Chain A
Amino acid sequence: MGNDYRSRTSHSKSGPGDAGKTGSWRILRPVIDPGVCIPAKRGAPACYMCWLYCPDGVISRSIPPTIDYEYCKGCGICAEECPTKAITMVEESSFIKEDK
């Protein structure tokens, strides 16, 4: 059945875009403090709890980790799980003021 079989069930690949650019849904923005974040501070691939827990897969496994704000919905799970409290949830409105 191959692809034919896949058409008979509901499948999805991980990746952005299934519900459009969900970054606009965000009220709070997660911001990583590189002075506290383990991989950023050590310059080594380590920890990545934020990457692991992010339900939308928008955090990269890089040094430092980066967040794709085009798709991040601002759920705050990364901030909750970060063992060193390196992630702060910041009001989106403050960035809008900044942008101006």
Chain B
Amino acid sequence: MQMIESGNVAAALGVKLSRAQVIAAYPITPQTPLTEKLSEFIEAGDMSAEYIPVESEHSALAVCIASSSAGARSFTATSANGLLYMHEQIHWASGARLPIVMCVVNRGVGAPWTVWNDHQDSMSQRDTGWIQIYANDHQQIIDAVIKAYALAEEVMIPVMVCYDGYLLSHTYMPFDIPDVSLADSFLPPYKPAYCLDPGEPANLNTVTLPDVRDDINGNRAHGYFEIRHLLQQDMIASMDALERIDSRFKTVFGRGGNPFIESYRTDDAEFIAVGIGSLSYHLRDVVDNLRDEGISVGGMSIQLYRPFPYSAVAEALKGCRGIIVFEKALSYGYQGPVCSDIKSALYQHGRQNSHRPFVLNYILGLGGREIVTKDLYDALKLSCTTGPDAPDELRWIGLKI
């Protein structure tokens, strides 16, 4: 069924269709309407879940860690400083290998205070051991939430579904709501491989020593180092799992097929503009304009950011002359995080065929600074025409200084 609603409602409908059993969240702009909607579903009896009000984001994720450890499908959502307040528990959830799904409604991070969109919040959580999926529109939000549970529960790694605050969360656009019975067949109830059992008491996530040691039965138990190694192995392997899940989703719902990256008019493109979230779709209009002028340019969205789909990225970019990365986040003192990751993915590939495209990095939209189509057009056109000779420096779009 097609409907026109906000991105937050799309996310809430995805959580409802996923039949999440425990929801704990603390309101923060621009995430608030998402969790309000979920509490309305539960209050109206449309959703059978326990909504646990908490006094902070740290507690929200702590509740989800507990409920997920007890075998319940758990959900939380937050933005910006709320996400950062969870930070310690974010590491905990992935180290404990709990299949929690969290929506991050992307917002800039204070100080100075801002409630508007950029990607600094979730990008700064890149190294926490969570899978990160970014949605470009409402359809991808609702679909990603459902796929995220399938993925998290298969690989036992928590998943963040990230989407732009306001630009997607508060914008209305059409999207299709997956049929309930199809969603149920795609995502059956969560059957944990292991969960808390009063009949068989255990300590979870106990202290580990620098070296391995034997458990009470005399069996060798993994130490911290082994457990962390397995998290990395499983993160890399989760790309195969996501590919399978996405392909199964496509069979059931007819949508998907691009779990890692989405390419737009890149087949013969000499230049490729890369973005994340709604910005990557905004760039499509600019690509069309430049194509009309005879410039051979395409666009690419990064859909999965962690694990980073390095093979798919390198493969997609291998033939082009230049890559222009537009980012709403910054690793202060260096460059945009996506730009660094793309360069890293290309390095290995470039060694093999002695081809290295130029990579330019633009920072824009921080704290909700309006992204003007004409500015994108000018920047991309200039990059395509003068890119190879351009100095290796960070470029800012829309800066009024």
Contacts and interface: CB of A to CB of B under 8 A. Distances in A.
A contacts B directly (C-beta below 8 A): yes
B227 A13 contact: no
A16 B156 CA distance: 30
A8 B231 contact: yes
B203 A17 contact: no
A12 interface: yes
Chain B contact-residue range equals 20 to 34
A98 interface: no
A1 interface: yes
Contact of A18 (B193, B201, B215): B215
Interface in B263-287: none
B207 to A, nearest CB: 8
Contacts of B181: none
B111 interface: no
Nearest to A6: B194
A5 interface: yes
Interface in B182-236: 193-194, 201-208, 213, 215-217, 221-222, 224, 227, 230-231, 234
Of the listed residues A2, A10, A15, the one surrounded by the most CB atoms of chain B closer than 10 A to its CB is A10
Given A2-B193, A5-B193, A12 B97 contact: no
Given A2-B193, A13-B202, A14-B201, A8 B227 contact: yes
A7 B222 contact: yes
B227 A12 contact: no
Contacts of A8: 97, 156, 222, 227, 230-231, 234
A18 B208 CA distance: 11
A97 interface: no
Contacts of A1: 156, 193-194
Interface in B313-353: none
What's the dominant secondary structure at chain B's contact region? Answer: loop
A17 B230 CA distance: 26
B177 interface: no
A15 B217 CA distance: 9
Interface in A1-56: 1-2, 4-18
B206 A12 contact: yes
B95 interface: yes
Contacts, number: 62
Chain A contact-residue range equals 10 to 19
A11 B203 contact: yes
Contacts of A15: 216
Nearest to A14: B201
A8 B114 CA distance: 39
Contacts of B224: 10
B216 A18 contact: yes
B42 interface: no
B201 A5 contact: no
A9 B203 contact: no
B178 to A, nearest CB: 27
Contacts of B207: 10
Contact of B203 (A4, A5, A12): A12
A10 B222 contact: yes
B96 interface: yes
Contact of A2 (B95, B194, B216, B234): B194
B19 to A, nearest CB: 21
A10 B225 CA distance: 11
Interface of A: 1-2, 4-18
Interface of B: 95-97, 156, 193-194, 201-208, 213, 215-217, 221-222, 224, 227, 230-231, 234
